[in-house]
Amino acid sequence: MAMAIASDETTRICDHCDRAIPSSNIDLHYAHCSRNLEKCKVCGDMVPKKHAEEHFLNTHARVTCSLCSETMEREILAIHKGENCPQRIVTCEFCEFPLPAIDLAEHQEVCGNRTELCYLCNRYIRLRERYNHESRCNGISEDNVGSSRDVRPAERDQGAQRRQPPEYSRRRLLFTIAIAGIAVLLGSLVFQKTMETERILFDVLKLDPDSDNLW
């Protein structure tokens, strides 16, 4: 407490710059300060009078962002363009495609749902889940998987095999065709037999003199 009081007694506040100045130098400081410095009306910094206009233009003058047309103080323009401007160019974390920051979220929502083959487990993984998957994937060894150039032809071969009907499907198709043919043949025979029976019955009824259905 005693030291603080002593300090207060040995310094005085300059009326021009509001700085604490040793009491023995206050008059000389004030004369120099008031003659050469002036306080910026915007930020309150003490700047040399001959550079006051330059300070204002370089720091506080209103400027327009060339990307988004927003106006701001020149002092923050660089930060705005690098971090906050919605039209600044950023890259997609999945495909590294450059695009305006305002479109990034929508683009990554779609791009992150694309899939790529994991060469360890041979599963297709969404790009947004790729990093987490790689950290915990314990798929087959690299020797069994082969290089990326070998995997793609293998995938095409597997796709072709999946598209070809298996042997049991061919036999089943032939069996179905045979059953259908037999059914048609039997139906034809039954139809012919029925027509022959009806014709004989018709002849009998036509020739029987005791029948009530004589023609």
pLDDT in tens, 140-195: 544 444 444 444 555 545 544 444 444 445 566 666 777 777 877 777 777 777 77
Alpha helices, DSSP H, located in 11-45 = 26-36
Read off the DSSP letter of residue 166.
Answer: P
Q: Is residue 207 part of a domain?
A: no
| Same domain? 42 vs 79 | no
Among 71, 86, 101, the domain boundary falls at 86
Q: Alpha carbon 95 to chain centroid distance?
A: 9
pTM: 0.44
Q: Which residues form the domain of 78?
A: 62-86
Q: Is residue 123 part of a domain?
A: yes
DSSP 108-155: HHHHTT-EEE-TTT--EEEGGGHHHHHHH---S-HHHH--HHHHHHHH
Q: Is residue 26 part of a domain?
A: yes
pLDDT of residue 53: 87
Q: Alpha carbon 211 to chain centroid distance?
A: 91
CATH of the domain at 131: 3.30.40
Q: Is residue 36 part of a domain?
A: yes
| Same domain? 81 vs 104 | no
pLDDT in tens, 62-74: 999 999 999 999 9
Read off the DSSP letter of residue 61.
Answer: S
Q: Is residue 156 part of a domain?
A: no
pLDDT in tens, 79-89: 999 999 999 99
List Cβ neighbours of 158 (8 Å cut-off, separation of 6 or more): none
Q: Is residue 197 part of a domain?
A: no
Q: Is residue 196 part of a domain?
A: no
For 200, the token pair is: 């004989």
Domain count, the chain: 3
